[in-house]
Structure 1
Amino acid sequence: MTMAARSQRPVNVGRLFHWAAEQGRPTVMHLDRPFDIAPDSGTRFDVPALAATVEDAAGWLHGAGLRHGDRLAIVKENHYDFILLASAAARLGALPVMIAPIRSEAHIRTLLTRVSPKVLVMGTTVLERMTAAGIALDDPGMTLVAVGGDRPGVPDGTLRIDDVRGGARPPVRFRGVHEPMLVTHTSGTTGVPKLVVHSPATTLAAVPFRIESYRLPLMTSRPGDVVASGISFAHNRNLSWTNGTLFRGPKKMVILSEPGLDNVARMLAAHPPTSLEACPNVFQYWEELADTRPELFAGVRRFISTFDAVHPRTVRKFLGASRVRLPLWAWGVGQSEIAGIAAGVATRSMVRPGRPRAHDATNVGFPPLVRVKVVDPETGRKRSRGKPGLLMVRTKSRCLTYLGEDDRHRAKDQGRWWNTGDLGEYAGYGRIRLIDREVDMIPGMSCIELESTLLDRLDRASEVIVLGVPGQLPIPVLCMRDDALDPQEWDRACRGLPEMDKPRLVPWDEMPRTATWKVRRGELREQLLGSSDTYGTGQWT
């Protein structure tokens, strides 16, 4: 390989780790538990060791029968090694499909049917669930390889990695830059997730996916940084985060595969971060740590939240826990299909208590190197400033299709524009204000803003969801740290707000969630109310 080829920035996930190793990146990754695909290799990996793990995985995947043009389905417990398996498959010219361990075994089965994989890598915990649910995984021509610890519910005779290891080193054969490279899935808040197909051209070769690798004042990782992430690693964000982080080469990458408070406290105490990323709802869950163990976040210069809108109270608590002079909260809202829709940066002063429209700090942002327009849902005509409508996005990061659902993809593909199914409005100076998902809307209000206000006024609440049901008052659903709510506390919280029905209390661990910890509002509505009626049409979900 020539020096020029060796230094060329990779656009295929199959080259990413090998390129970083060739560049001599000094980063060391620290795990909260061993990889499912390398359970005996410990919890510390430098970049060459990550590349070697990819190389090893390519070998045993090839031994399991995976070849150029085949599909690999990965369904396992949340961990960073999703992307290592994807990289290994891409080196063979196969198409990796990353599927998080979602709650519904039936949904997993539906997704696997759409994928029709040649090889299925499944975590033993998920496999045990599928077996207990009576769901067969004996598709003709498919090889199942189980990864992870031993589980009593795993069927006898299930292949493990050692059973398919030991063959000759397979040839590296990448697919083209415009061919499918990676499949992730949507969060699935409204039903079975959609399988989103991306190519190198729509991901690593596109500017929106590479923002974090550029030298940005106050935002870019430095050589001495400790960069921690607690996201759902089966999603596209893992790819863009890995690309940007390996390019900048911080001192450490810290992986938080399990968001439990004890686990997170242990890891952050051992590796104090200067940058910390998680899904917004995970940050909400971690607010208890910000209250009781603020020293864990004392050195954080940059907090990052993606996937969904974040509430001002959450931002305020963590920025307040940092002892850095000017900590920043970088937030982005996007979709698996198109990357970003809007993004912004918040400071302590922007979310201070009592500041008028403090929620604008976390739901009014700029399109991140994409074009966004607001249109009337019925006519498709462009809306003026302050008039809510559907958000349409034009970007080079738009996905190729939905695997197994081409018609559904075409329904949202409107020429050069993509229908996000999100509601928003122009806020001036090129900014977009986020309002709600169309399917979750309540006429005359923004659930995002109402929920943010209630969270601000209910300090012990770890989650607030407001459900709209036609013909009824909006129904608030609360998760309280002690599972109790004083009626007077609720009355004070509601002053000056639209009239609502009596609140329903749901324990945090009983709230139906997606793999990114978003609340599945449709499932929650049926669980509490026995109804699926909404104000929104849901036709763009």
Structure 2
Amino acid sequence: MALLRPSPYHIGRLFHWHAERRRQTVVHLDRPLDVVPDGGTVYDGAALAGTVTLLADCLYAAGLRAGDRVVVAKDNHFDMPLLAAAAARLGALPVMIAPIASVETVRALIGRAQPTLLVAGTRLLASAGEAGVALVPAGVRTIAVGAPVGDLPAGTLTLGDLRGGAPAPVRIGGADEPMISTHTSGTTGVPKLVLHSANTAIGRFPARMERCFIPFLTTRHSDVTAAAVSFAHIRVMAWTASQLKMAPRGLVAISDPGLPVVERMLAEHRPTTLEAMPNMFQRWEVLAERRPELFGRVRLFVSTFDAVHPRTLRTMLDASGRRFPVWGWGLGQSEVTGITVNLFTRRTVRPGAPADRSTTGWPAAGVRIRVVDPVTGRRQPHGRRGLLLIATRARCLTYLGEDDRYRAKLDGRWWNTGDLAERVAFGRIRLLDREVDMLPGHSCLELESILLDRLPNATDVTVLALPGGPPVPVLCMRDDRLDAREWREAGRGLPEMAAPRLVPWDEVPRTATWKVRRLALQEQVLGTSRTPGTGRWT
């Protein structure tokens, strides 16, 4: 019992810690959990803790023990952190894999993890069977979760097969020991498996800031907090800890960020704070225009992982009926959690404001930043681009199965993010591009923001930089059409660009966090993967 008193830094004790608190939150789901399909869509603190205990008992019955690794690869849902908590309570290491279209990529990640147990979604198992891919070697047990999809591979267990066994022992690890592994976005290839401890993922700054009361910026007891995120990624560990610590009145977990589900959930619960990936918010612009009342109560929008474009900020902030809605933006990376932060209001993103304002922020709490020359490693003066290096105590422990790759990105205490940035006024950092995707002399991100502002019917813009030639804009248009005059006006005053390519939104390759997989898109549209950058630090 004494283990439950400290603040919830460890995912293995988090849900039980919350269940013993006087003030709890109520979780609302967009569909029943895959691990408890008959459990409904509403969970209080006690039900969440009970589900974690049930899952821990099932994993133990399947043979998972302290020191083992278990891969969890299934459809996106809030039961991902519950499964992670169940494994961590046993002293095992959960390795979380978000839904990835390529079965071969999933198999490669599982190979790096070398698990003793696989918890797999039925759709993944069906896809692997159709492709003739064995996800795990013989001897590794598999537990299937989710609605039935065809026949399961021989020897596959279900959670129903494992219920009713002996209670599992609780063996929660220390704050600095490996706690969880999640993967990077994988925009340039097979993702890396990032290994974190309780301290690096949750306990230290900048993640710790979310569990402090900061006016306008952190969760209140009166809030209804909604999130449409990838529940397998490291961001969710800190988010879950902060929400269960701050205990809002309601917590809305949206597993499917598609327009129909989001419209239904926002209509039912009307959140006061809303978090999603930048490209999810961008996709929802049409919903904000058609039904602004769905966002009418939102006082705080939150986006992390990646840059967010000014048009998206403006559309969402204008949809809010609040007098002073705020957008909290954090540039992050799975290996180091937070990097830079900024706040946006209607005033800061008004029409005519600089397009690069939305990619500029201050170093996050507990983070030190350097911008260095990619060749010499010397610090760059203000206004000159270079590689973004950071020093933080929240840096991950290593990459599972790729420790050499992890070490290659370290220079003493400095971590090479692989991003290009520059220092600007007042200690701020302006994000430009990934080094591998860089546009010499310009910024793809800034061009994309400008084009989105000038093309109201564009739902997405990706500028692809090519060596020895002008960049190629790839446009997703609401009606799949672009008038030649409209394009000439949009490109006025901008650097030379090749003729735009139109691609339907649903055909753009994306990661589980909805980032555009630029290299895959380039191969799809242009038939080449050559880029101006080296890709050395991807």
Q: TM-score range by the shorter chain?
A: over 0.9
Segments of 5+ residues of structure 2 without an aligned counterpart are none
C-alpha separation in 2, matches of 1:301 and 1:79:
25
The answer on whether the counterparts of 1:131 and 1:153 sit within 8 Å (CA) in structure 2 is no
2:31 pairs with 1:33: yes
SS in structure 1 at match of 2:509: coil
2:428 pairs with 1:394: no
2:429 pairs with 1:429: no
Say which of 42, 58, 68 aligns to 2:40. Answer: 42
Q: Which residue type is aligned with residue 155 of structure 1?
A: P
Q: Which residue type is aligned with residue 482 of structure 2?
A: L
Q: Which residue type is aligned with residue 434 of structure 1?
A: L
Who is 2:249 aligned against? Answer: 251
Say which of 96, 99, 103 aligns to 1:98. Answer: 96
C-alpha separation in 2, matches of 1:506 and 1:358:
24
Deviates more, 1:60-69 or 1:150-159: 150-159
Question: Cα distance, 1:138 vs. partner?
Answer: 4.7
Say which of 439, 442, 448 aligns to 1:442. Answer: 439
C-alpha separation in 1, matches of 2:141 and 2:155:
12
Question: Cα distance, 1:485 vs. partner?
Answer: 1.1
Who is 2:218 aligned against? Answer: 220
1:83-112 deviations in whole A, cap 9, x for unaligned?
Answer: 000000000000000000111111000001
C-alpha separation in 2, matches of 1:313 and 1:161:
45
SS in structure 1 at match of 2:493: coil
Question: Cα distance, 1:155 vs. partner?
Answer: 3.3
1:433-487 deviations in whole A, cap 9, x for unaligned?
Answer: 1000000001010111000000001111111000011122110001111111111
Q: Which residue type is aligned with residue 419 of structure 1?
A: N
C-alpha separation in 2, matches of 1:88 and 1:28:
20
Q: Which residue type is aligned with residue 435 of structure 1?
A: L
SS in structure 1 at match of 2:221: coil
The answer on whether the counterparts of 2:420 and 2:434 sit within 8 Å (CA) in structure 1 is yes
Mapping for residues 33-182 of structure 1, pairs under 5 Å = 33-152=31-150, 154-155=152-153, 158-182=156-180
1:140-167 deviations in whole A, cap 9, x for unaligned?
Answer: 3311000000112543653111112221
Who is 1:262 aligned against? Answer: 260
C-alpha separation in 2, matches of 1:154 and 1:527:
33
Question: Cα distance, 1:429 vs. partner?
Answer: 1.6
* Structure 1 ranges of 4+ moved more than 3 A: 153-157
TM-score, L = length of structure 2? 0.98
2:513 pairs with 1:524: no
C-alpha separation in 1, matches of 2:71 and 2:37:
20
The answer on whether the counterparts of 1:145 and 1:160 sit within 8 Å (CA) in structure 2 is yes
SS in structure 1 at match of 2:200: coil
Who is 1:368 aligned against? Answer: 364
C-alpha separation in 2, matches of 1:66 and 1:253:
31
Question: Cα distance, 1:204 vs. partner?
Answer: 2.2
Deviates more, 1:196-205 or 1:26-35: 196-205
The answer on whether the counterparts of 2:26 and 2:251 sit within 8 Å (CA) in structure 1 is yes
Q: Which residue type is aligned with residue 360 of structure 2?
A: V
SS in structure 2 at match of 1:42: coil
C-alpha separation in 2, matches of 1:156 and 1:400:
36
1:298-322 deviations in whole A, cap 9, x for unaligned?
Answer: 0000000111000000000000000
Who is 1:508 aligned against? Answer: 505
SS in structure 1 at match of 2:217: coil
Who is 1:458 aligned against? Answer: 455
C-alpha separation in 2, matches of 1:9 and 1:239:
14
Q: Which residue type is aligned with residue 132 of structure 1?
A: E
C-alpha separation in 2, matches of 1:471 and 1:358:
26
C-alpha separation in 1, matches of 2:419 and 2:505:
26
The answer on whether the counterparts of 2:355 and 2:449 sit within 8 Å (CA) in structure 1 is no
The answer on whether the counterparts of 2:462 and 2:474 sit within 8 Å (CA) in structure 1 is yes
The answer on whether the counterparts of 1:25 and 1:47 sit within 8 Å (CA) in structure 2 is no
Q: Which residue type is aligned with residue 513 of structure 1?
A: R
Question: Cα distance, 1:359 vs. partner?
Answer: 3.1
Who is 1:476 aligned against? Answer: 473
SS in structure 1 at match of 2:170: coil
SS in structure 2 at match of 1:380: coil
C-alpha separation in 2, matches of 1:480 and 1:129:
31
The answer on whether the counterparts of 1:206 and 1:396 sit within 8 Å (CA) in structure 2 is yes
Who is 1:535 aligned against? Answer: 532
Say which of 315, 324, 345 aligns to 2:343. Answer: 345
Question: Cα distance, 1:372 vs. partner?
Answer: 0.7
SS in structure 2 at match of 1:222: coil
Mapping for residues 289-308 of structure 1, pairs under 5 Å = 289-308=287-306
Question: Cα distance, 1:128 vs. partner?
Answer: 1.1
Who is 1:200 aligned against? Answer: 198
The answer on whether the counterparts of 2:355 and 2:446 sit within 8 Å (CA) in structure 1 is no
1:481-534 deviations in whole A, cap 9, x for unaligned?
Answer: 111111111111111111111110111111000000000000111111111110
SS in structure 2 at match of 1:273: coil
SS in structure 2 at match of 1:17: helix
Question: Cα distance, 1:58 vs. partner?
Answer: 0.1
Deviates more, 1:124-133 or 1:344-353: 124-133
2:483 pairs with 1:492: no
Deviates more, 1:314-323 or 1:470-479: 470-479
Question: Cα distance, 1:63 vs. partner?
Answer: 0.8
CA RMSD of aligned residues (A): 1.1
C-alpha separation in 1, matches of 2:255 and 2:30:
7
SS in structure 1 at match of 2:387: strand
Who is 1:407 aligned against? Answer: 404
The answer on whether the counterparts of 1:89 and 1:96 sit within 8 Å (CA) in structure 2 is yes
The answer on whether the counterparts of 2:111 and 2:136 sit within 8 Å (CA) in structure 1 is no
Q: Which residue type is aligned with residue 407 of structure 2?
A: R
Deviates more, 1:260-269 or 1:131-140: 131-140
1:344-386 deviations in whole A, cap 9, x for unaligned?
Answer: 000001111123x1431x1110111111110000001111100
Who is 1:274 aligned against? Answer: 272
SS in structure 2 at match of 1:522: helix
Question: Cα distance, 1:24 vs. partner?
Answer: 2.6
Deviates more, 1:281-290 or 1:137-146: 137-146
Identity of aligned residues (%): 58
Deviates more, 1:309-318 or 1:152-161: 152-161
Deviates more, 1:201-210 or 1:309-318: 201-210
Q: Which residue type is aligned with residue 356 of structure 2?
A: H
C-alpha separation in 2, matches of 1:250 and 1:111:
36
Q: Which residue type is aligned with residue 453 of structure 1?
A: I
